[in-house]
């Protein structure tokens, strides 16, 4: 299994504040991996840097051996790195089918959709995230759980190799979390490398075999959830929140 | 049981309500369709009441009318003047018994449409639409008017398409007469319907300005006992001022003048801007300033002139200043300004003073140049129809063309004793043909025709001496 | 290519065609479709009612501005790029069309095409700042660019090249026959609307709308914003250019006034009145505007005032324009008549 994502010495500063500080890690193809840290640790910034929505001050990001540091977001997507957002984003006035179609119309999505036709391909994806019966309605009237599914569907439309999921469980009930969890596991089984964040450890504990922990923009450790949970710095970082194993 | 009954009653109520609504809706649809059809049919078939105004007479049937259409920005001074001049001429002709053609009496009928051309935010569709309406709907046979070149350029084509006689009373550019003859892309067959009756063309205005400068230079040098040679030009940044500025810049040096400044200002300039221009002009010791202004700048120019008192005399073009209300508009700040004006209350022709007094008595203000032009134009059309015994544009064109410099029309116009047209259908210029007067605002709150040293017009029609600002003239 | 794959390809084309046919058939059976068809037939029959140049002229002006307003609606309603400088494309095409007719003696349709294509080039040019600017900033920037065009063409110094304050004149009409001119404009309007609506419904239209709804989301879906925004600007500029060229011919020439913010505002007002992101609403807005303008033509200042009040009322009570509510009311009444 080769390395799919290699992040080296990544640093991002906002004025005097260092959001991400000399951060390095590797992800292997087919891995299922989490990025944890308390609120404000810099997880979203890391995702923004990888997906190209922000440029790092220094450091390199290599995807599949190719340097993608500072590349335009849509180019990175078309190389095979798709992402979702912590706050759900959708095309409010388009139908769910069209929401997915947009991704299928990206240059990477098109290659897959070619044989089937965009609508058909988009329906398949919509079915896989469990929204096919709502294909003709716009997202403004969807419940939050469905919006999270739509997010993943939109990412899938671009046929990603690496999927970055930013807080995919945020704001969901336990039942909804379970549905999304099943969906993510299925995606991973299908061969997508999944990299997800979460600020509540419990969500990730039973899901991912490997976790990267960060705090105040810095890399703390890399290991199994059990190892991470025992780590002193991680515990300190979460201390007082009472959320570690809650 | 009871419940069921209630329910039934309720149901039938609802049904009734529905059917009532349905009937109402059907009635509504039929009513709207009927009204639409009715309006449409009325529009097409209704006998149209005459929309022509017949000043001085009433109850004239449409087929006894000489239908004259007036085009201009009705709500602005040029268009208003055009209408007033035409109205007065029509009134006089109709009162005097109309126009006799082959034993039948015809009267002048007027209709006006608004081209909205004086609007600073110009929409040429308004002019084109007005021209189409006046010809195609109102049924005007002869057109009088036009002022702003950009707008007129569009709708003159509509009038030429319709082959109607168009007497221009407002635009001084050479362009329209150039269409008739003598310039690139001119086409006599297409544009022969255009004649200018007012004002004299912009190159002639340039010639007049150079002549008056030559005279004033000598006069002021003698009176002030010092050389008066420094001239500033202050003009609005519009195309029509370019030939004028070129002429001044080229020819004034031959008469010993130096152009110390040639300022172009945007037509949106404000009072503050004019203070700057005057300071600039004063800094260069200009002795005479030539304004070339058709739009709203004149007022600011004069208020700042009175406030800053630059030591120079103003002699040039300022259309706003042609209005008699300019004195009150500027609270007398326009004193000492000398401007070109086509007509004033003086014996330019034998008819001028009578016309002037008649006009002032009717409208309670002095006529603008478009009013004078429209007055002449209506008379020309009436005279032409009378003389040729025909209403055809082509006959009138031939008749108008018969007046040349060597065989002019004499004693018919209020603007000049002699009227004639050159091959491009432009007014012949130079006393006793079309000339411009130089009028100065003086202490009594009115304008006086000043001397041109017999160069532009004879001193016999001068109505007052030149008056110099008490704050002096630069060395 | 094998015979099999060829026939397969043919089959797909056939399927697509029949698909669109049944779509049209279904559409023509809807209330909206029927009303549209009735309106179109009505427009076709107008010249039977009157051949008067003036009345047809109002329709022609309204049709020209329908295209212009629709071009703005396409950009703002579909792609979310609110331009206050739509007159740039309108004006430049007016100038180029006039120039080619007047000085190079090209036929009007060729000149119009060239004019519109130059409009497209300007669309590309103006689209570039749009890549970085959003919302009111884009509006402001495009308005300033429009003013720059206005003052550049007005500038006396450029008079020998750009025609100065009086522009280019003596452009012949498309046809001396008013009825013929009317039908040519009608064809232009219908064709433009069909193309714009078709693009709106196409996959590319979906991408445009996604940019309108959420540009970051669109980029995260792998959409090249630069490319699509520029394409949208170019398409919009093309149709604004068609309108500008027709406008120049209808008014026998152009002057720098065509670049005035006035015309950009006309487009915005008409499209907003009819309903943004509807395309056909632009026609409703434009007809309404020009009929009102002619009705009040004797009081041009008042007409602007009245129109402003109407617009304020529309924005207050029907912020998505009058097209949709009017259609709904009409449908309600019609359903009642049919007893549904």
Residue pLDDT, tens place only, C220-259? 999 999 999 999 999 999 999 999 999 999 999 999 999 9
In contact, B229 and B285? CB cutoff 8 Å: no
Least Cα distance to B116 among B107, B125, B103 occurs for B125
B217 C-beta neighbours (distance < 10 Å), count: 20
Q: Between C31-49 and C3-29, two packed helices, what is the crossing angle to 10 degrees?
A: 80
In contact, B359 and B155? CB cutoff 8 Å: no
Residues of chain C contacting A93 with CB distance shorter than 8 Å = 209, 212-213
User: What's the domain range around C74?
Assistant: 54-259
Q: Say what the pLDDT of residue C301 is.
A: 67
B124 in contact with chain C, both atoms CB, cutoff 8 A: yes
Please list the residues that pair with B291 across neighbouring strands.
B234
Q: How many helices (H) and strands (E) does chain A have?
A: 10, 10
Q: Pairing between strand B194-196 and B165-168?
A: parallel
CB contact under 8 A, B153 and C169: yes
Closest-CA residue in chain A for C12?
Answer: A117
Distance from the Cα of B299 to chain C's closest Cα (Å) equals: 23
Tell me: pLDDT of C2 over 70. Answer: no
Give the confidence band of C269 by pLDDT, cuts at 50, 70, 90.
confident
- Structural domain contains residue C32: no
Q: Say what the pLDDT of residue A66 is.
A: 92
Closest-CA residue in chain C for B15?
Answer: C339
Query: Which of B75, B150, B242 lies nearest to residue C167, judging by beta carbons?
Result: B150
Residues of chain A contacting C207 with CB distance shorter than 8 Å = 102, 105
C202 in contact with chain B, both atoms CB, cutoff 8 A: no
Distance from the Cα of B164 to chain C's closest Cα (Å) equals: 15
The CATH 3.40.50.2300 portion of chain B extends over 1-199+345-434, 203-341+442-461
Residues of chain C contacting A74 with CB distance shorter than 8 Å = 219, 222-225
Q: Say what the pLDDT of residue A41 is.
A: 85
Burial class (CB in 10 A: 0-12, 13-18, 19+), B229: middle
Q: What is the mean pLDDT of residues A81-97?
A: 92
A62 in contact with chain C, both atoms CB, cutoff 8 A: no
- Structural domain contains residue C17: no
In this complex, does chain A touch chain B, defined as having at least 3 beta-carbon pairs under 8 Å apart? no
CB contact under 8 A, C221 and A78: no
CB contact under 8 A, B185 and C298: no
C209 in contact with chain A, both atoms CB, cutoff 8 A: yes
- Residue B349 φ/ψ, nearest 5 degrees: -130, 175
C160 in contact with chain B, both atoms CB, cutoff 8 A: no
Distance from the Cα of A241 to chain C's closest Cα (Å) equals: 32
CB contact under 8 A, C339 and B74: no
Q: Say what the pLDDT of residue B49 is.
A: 66
CB contact under 8 A, B26 and C337: yes
Contact residues, C window 72-131, toward B, CB-based 8 Å cutoff? none
If you count them, how many residues does chain B have? Answer: 475
Instruction: Indicate if the alpha-carbon torsion angle C239, C240, C243, C248 is positive or negative.
Output: negative
If you count them, how many residues does chain C have? Answer: 340
C223 in contact with chain A, both atoms CB, cutoff 8 A: yes
Give the confidence band of A159 by pLDDT, cuts at 50, 70, 90.
very high
A158 in contact with chain C, both atoms CB, cutoff 8 A: yes
C164 or C210: which leads in pLDDT: C210
Closest-CA residue in chain A for C214?
Answer: A91
B55 or C300: which leads in pLDDT: B55
C63 in contact with chain B, both atoms CB, cutoff 8 A: no
CB contact under 8 A, A74 and C223: yes
- Structural domain contains residue C42: no
- The total domain count for chain C is 1
Q: How many helices (H) and strands (E) does chain B have?
A: 14, 15
Quote the CA–CA distance of C238 and A25 in Å, as a whole number. Answer: 50
- Residue B228 φ/ψ, nearest 5 degrees: -110, 100
- Structural domain contains residue C237: yes
> Following CA atoms C59, C63, C69, C70 in sequence, which dihedral angle do they give, to the nearest 10 degrees?
140
- Structural domain contains residue C311: no
Distance from the Cα of C220 to chain A's closest Cα (Å) equals: 6
Q: Say what the pLDDT of residue B13 is.
A: 64
CA-atom Rg of chain C in angstroms: 21
Distance from the Cα of B33 to chain C's closest Cα (Å) equals: 13
ipTM confidence: 0.90
A165 in contact with chain C, both atoms CB, cutoff 8 A: no
Q: What is the mean pLDDT of chain C?
A: 86
Tens-level pLDDT at each residue, chain B (475 residues): 455 555 555 555 666 677 787 888 888 888 888 888 887 777 666 656 678 999 999 888 888 999 999 999 888 888 999 999 999 999 999 999 999 998 899 999 999 999 988 887 888 999 999 999 999 999 999 999 998 888 999 999 999 999 999 999 988 888 899 999 987 778 999 999 999 998 888 778 888 999 999 999 999 999 999 999 999 999 998 877 888 898 899 999 999 999 999 999 988 888 888 999 999 999 999 999 999 998 778 999 999 999 999 999 999 999 889 888 999 999 999 999 999 998 999 999 999 999 999 999 999 999 989 999 999 999 999 999 999 999 999 999 999 999 999 999 999 999 999 999 999 999 999 888 989 999 999 999 999 999 999 999 999 999 999 999 999 899 8
Burial class (CB in 10 A: 0-12, 13-18, 19+), B391: middle
SS3 C34: helix
A91 in contact with chain C, both atoms CB, cutoff 8 A: yes
Residue B38 sits at the vertex; the CA angle it makes with B32 and B41, to the nearest 5 degrees, is 140
Closest-CA residue in chain C for A51?
Answer: C220
DSSP symbol at A160: -
Distance from the Cα of A176 to chain C's closest Cα (Å) equals: 23
CB contact under 8 A, A77 and C216: no
Q: What is the mean pLDDT of chain A?
A: 88
Q: Say what the pLDDT of residue C12 is.
A: 47
Query: Which of B29, B121, B264 lies nearest to residue C260, judging by beta carbons?
Result: B121
Quote the CA–CA distance of C17 and A210 in Å, as a whole number. Answer: 53
SS3 C317: helix
CB contact under 8 A, C219 and A73: yes
Q: Pairing between strand A3-14 and A58-63?
A: antiparallel
Residues of chain A contacting C206 with CB distance shorter than 8 Å = 94, 98, 101-102, 105
C227 in contact with chain B, both atoms CB, cutoff 8 A: no
In contact, B125 and B158? CB cutoff 8 Å: no
A89 in contact with chain C, both atoms CB, cutoff 8 A: yes
Quote the CA–CA distance of C133 and C149 in Å, as a whole number. Answer: 20
- Structural domain contains residue C243: yes
Q: Say what the pLDDT of residue C313 is.
A: 79
Please report, for residues B326, B371, B447, the alpha-carbon distance to residue B343 in angstroms, rounded to integers and kept in the order given.
Answer: 16, 10, 11
Helix, strand, coil shares, percent, chain C, to 5 = 80, 0, 15
Tell me: pLDDT of A245 over 60. Answer: no
- Chain C: list its partners (3+ Cβ pairs within 8 Å): A, B
Quote the CA–CA distance of B145 and B78 in Å, as a whole number. Answer: 9
Distance from the Cα of A195 to chain C's closest Cα (Å) equals: 16
Q: Among residues of chain C, what percentage have pLDDT more than 70?
A: 91
In contact, C262 and C147? CB cutoff 8 Å: no
Q: Say what the pLDDT of residue A239 is.
A: 61
- Structural domain contains residue C269: no
Fold designation for B203-341+442-461: Rossmann fold (3.40.50)
C131 in contact with chain A, both atoms CB, cutoff 8 A: no
- Chain A: list its partners (3+ Cβ pairs within 8 Å): C
Closest-CA residue in chain C for B26?
Answer: C337
CB contact under 8 A, A106 and C222: yes
> Which CATH number is B1-199+345-434 given?
3.40.50.2300
- Chain B: list its partners (3+ Cβ pairs within 8 Å): C
CB contact under 8 A, C159 and B242: yes
Strands, DSSP E only, in chain C? Answer: 168-169, 253-254
In contact, A163 and A194? CB cutoff 8 Å: yes
Least Cα distance to A153 among A91, A201, A67 occurs for A91
Tell me: pLDDT of C317 over 50. Answer: yes
Q: Note the pLDDT tens digit of each residue in C155-187.
A: 877 877 888 888 898 898 899 899 999 999 999
Quote the CA–CA distance of C148 and C162 in Å, as a whole number. Answer: 14
Q: Say what the pLDDT of residue B44 is.
A: 63
CB contact under 8 A, C220 and A99: no
- Structural domain contains residue C64: yes
CB contact under 8 A, C253 and B157: yes
A159 in contact with chain C, both atoms CB, cutoff 8 A: no
Distance from the Cα of C108 to chain A's closest Cα (Å) equals: 38
B122 in contact with chain C, both atoms CB, cutoff 8 A: yes
Tell me: pLDDT of C75 over 70. Answer: yes
In this complex, does chain C touch chain B, defined as having at least 3 beta-carbon pairs under 8 Å apart? yes
Count contacts between B and C (CB, < 8 Å): 114
């Amino acid at each position: 299994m080769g390395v799919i994502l290699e992040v080296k010495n990544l640093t991002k500063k906002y004025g005097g504040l260092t959001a991400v500080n000399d951060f390095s890690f590797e992800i292997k193809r087919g891995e299922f991996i989490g990025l944890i840290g308390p609120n404000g640790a810099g997880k979203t910034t890391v995702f923004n840097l990888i997906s190209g929505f922000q440029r790092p001050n220094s450091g390199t990001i290599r995807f599949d051996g190719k340097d993608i540091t500072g590349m335009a977001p849509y180019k990175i997507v078309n190389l095979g790195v798709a992402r979702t957002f912590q706050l759900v984003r959708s095309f409010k006035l388009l139908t769910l089918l069209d929401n997915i179609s947009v991704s299928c119309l990206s240059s990477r999505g098109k290659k897959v959709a070619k044989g089937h036709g965009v609508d058909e391909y988009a329906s398949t994806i919509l079915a896989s995230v469990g929204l096919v019966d709502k294909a003709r309605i716009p997202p403004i009237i969807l419940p939050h759980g469905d919006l999270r599914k739509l997010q993943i569907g939109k990412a899938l439309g671009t046929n990603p190799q690496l999927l970055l999921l930013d807080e995919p469980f945020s704001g969901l009930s336990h039942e909804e979390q379970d549905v999304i969890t099943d969906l993510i596991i299925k995606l991973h089984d299908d061969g997508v490398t999944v990299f997800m964040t979460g600020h509540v450890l419990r969500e990730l504990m039973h899901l991912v075999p490997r976790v990267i922990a960060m705090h105040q923009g810095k890399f703390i450790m890399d290991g199994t959830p059990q190892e991470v949970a025992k780590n002193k710095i991680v515990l300190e970082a979460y201390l007082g929140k009472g959320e570690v194993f809650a | 049981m009871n419940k069921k009954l209630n329910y039934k009653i309720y149901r039938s109520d609802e049904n009734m309500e529905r059917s009532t609504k349905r009937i109402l809706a059907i009635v509504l649809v039929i009513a709207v369709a009927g009204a639409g059809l009715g309006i449409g049919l009325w529009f097409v078939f209704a006998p149209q009441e005459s929309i022509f105004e017949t000043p001085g007479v009433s109850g004239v049937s449409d087929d006894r009318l000489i239908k004259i259409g007036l085009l201009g920005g009705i709500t602005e001074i040029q268009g208003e003047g055009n209408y007033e001049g035409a109205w007065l001429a029509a009134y006089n002709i109709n009162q005097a018994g109309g126009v006799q053609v082959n034993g039948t009496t015809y009267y002048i009928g007027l209709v006006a449409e608004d081209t909205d051309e004086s609007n600073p935010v110009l929409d040429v569709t308004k002019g084109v639409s007005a021209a189409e309406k006046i010809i195609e709907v109102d049924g005007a046979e002869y057109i009088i008017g036009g002022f702003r070149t950009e707008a007129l350029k569009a709708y003159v084509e509509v009038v030429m398409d319709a082959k109607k006689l168009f007497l221009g009373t407002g635009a001084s550019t050479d362009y329209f007469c150039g269409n008739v003859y003598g310039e690139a892309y001119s086409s006599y067959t297409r544009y022969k319907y255009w004649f200018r009756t007012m004002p004299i063309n912009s190159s002639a205005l340039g010639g007049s300005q150079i002549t008056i400068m030559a005279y004033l230079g000598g006069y002021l040098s003698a009176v002030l006992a010092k050389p008066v040679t420094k001239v500033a030009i202050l003009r609005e940044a519009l195309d029509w001022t370019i030939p004028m500025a070129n002429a001044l810049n080229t020819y004034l040096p031959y008469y010993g003048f130096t152009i110390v400044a040639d300022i172009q200002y945007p037509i949106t300039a404000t009072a503050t801007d004019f203070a700057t221009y005057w300071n600039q002009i004063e800094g260069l010791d200009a002795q005479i300033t030539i304004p070339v202004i058709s739009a709203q700048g004149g007022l600011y120019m004069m208020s700042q002139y009175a406030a800053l008192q630059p030591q120079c005399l103003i002699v040039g073009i300022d259309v706003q200043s042609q209005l008699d209300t300019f004195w009150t508009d500027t609270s007398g700040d326009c004193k000492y300004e000398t401007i070109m004006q086509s007509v004033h209350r003086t014996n330019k022709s034998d008819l001028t003073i009578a016309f002037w007094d008649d006009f002032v008595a009717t409208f309670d203000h002095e006529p603008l140049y478009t009013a004078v032009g429209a007055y002449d134009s209506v008379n020309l059309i009436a005279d032409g129809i009378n003389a040729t015994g025909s209403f055809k544009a082509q006959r009138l064109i031939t008749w108008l063309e018969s007046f040349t410099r060597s065989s002019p029309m004499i004693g018919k116009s209020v603007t000049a004793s002699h009227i004639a047209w050159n091959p491009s259908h432009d007014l012949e210029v130079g006393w006793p043909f079309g000339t411009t007067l130089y009028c100065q605002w003086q202490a009594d709150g009115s304008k006086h025709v000043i001397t041109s040293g017999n160069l532009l017009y004879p001193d016999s029609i001068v109505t007052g001496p030149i008056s110099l600002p008490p704050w002096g003239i630069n060395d | 290519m094998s015979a099999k794959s060829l026939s397969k390809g043919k089959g797909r084309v056939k399927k697509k065609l029949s698909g669109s046919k049944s779509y049209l058939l279904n559409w023509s059976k809807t209330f909206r479709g029927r009303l549209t068809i009735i309106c179109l037939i009505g427009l076709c029959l107008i010249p039977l009612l009157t051949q008067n140049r003036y009345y047809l002229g109002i329709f022609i002006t309204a049709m020209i501005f329908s295209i212009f307003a629709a071009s703005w609606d396409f950009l703002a309603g579909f792609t979310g790029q609110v331009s206050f400088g739509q007159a740039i494309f309108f004006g430049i095409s007016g100038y180029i069309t006039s120039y080619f007719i007047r000085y190079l003696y090209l036929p009007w349709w060729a000149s119009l095409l060239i004019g519109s294509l130059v409009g497209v080039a300007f669309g590309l040019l103006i689209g570039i700042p749009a890549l970085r600017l959003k919302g009111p900033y884009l509006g402001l920037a495009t308005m300033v660019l429009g003013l720059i065009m206005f003052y550049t063409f007005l500038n006396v110094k450029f008079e020998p090249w750009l025609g100065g304050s009086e522009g280019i004149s003596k452009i012949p009409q498309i046809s001396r026959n008013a009825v013929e001119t009317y039908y040519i404009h009608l064809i232009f309007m219908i064709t433009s609307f069909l193309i714009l609506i078709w693009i709106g419904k196409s996959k590319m239209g979906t991408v445009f709308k996604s940019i309108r709804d959420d540009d970051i989301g669109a980029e995260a879906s792998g959409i090249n914003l630069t490319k699509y925004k520029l394409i949208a600007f170019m398409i919009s500029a093309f149709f604004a250019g068609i309108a500008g060229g027709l406008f120049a011919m209808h008014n026998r020439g152009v002057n720098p006034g065509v670049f005035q913010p006035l015309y950009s505002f006309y487009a915005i007002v008409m499209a907003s009145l009819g309903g943004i992101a509807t395309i056909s609403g632009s026609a409703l807005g434009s007809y309404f505007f020009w009929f009102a303008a002619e009705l009040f033509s004797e009081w041009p200042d008042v007409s602007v005032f009245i129109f402003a009040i109407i617009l304020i009322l529309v924005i207050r009570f029907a912020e998505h324009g009058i097209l949709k509510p009017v259609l709904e009311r009409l449908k309600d009444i019609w359903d009642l008549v049919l007893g549904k």
